[in-house]
Amino acid sequence: MNSDDLIALLRPTFPNANIEAVNQGNKFEVLIVDESFDGKRLVQRQQAIYAIVNAHIQSGAMHALTIHALTPAEYQARQSH
């Protein structure tokens, strides 16, 4: 699995999101900016993503995943700092 595979895995659930992923070996970091996160707590956002990738974590194809799940407004606020 590589970063493109991870993006392809997430895209059906987050079709309008800005998704960026990087990996070093089987350790991944993903940024998802999507309006569907609006009003959801961080843990709810992470659970939605883990539900998609959990089989890959259990198989060992993915060892670690760092998730940055932001609303568009949160992303804009981060960019302005």
pLDDT (tens digit per residue) in 11-32: 999 999 999 999 999 999 999 9
Domains defined along the chain, listed by start:
3-17+24-71 (3.30.300.90)
pTM over 0.85: yes
Match 């970063």 to its residue by tokens. Answer: 3
Evaluate whether 21 touches 3 at the Cβ level (below 8 Å): yes
Task: Tell me the three state secondary structure of residue 74.
Answer: helix
Strands (E), the chain: 18-24, 27-33, 64-70
Per-residue pLDDT of the chain (81 residues; tens, 9 = 90+): 999 999 999 999 999 999 999 999 999 999 999 999 999 999 999 999 999 999 999 999 999 999 999 999 999 999 887
**Share of the chain residues as helix, strand and coil, in percent rounded to the nearest 5:** 45, 25, 30
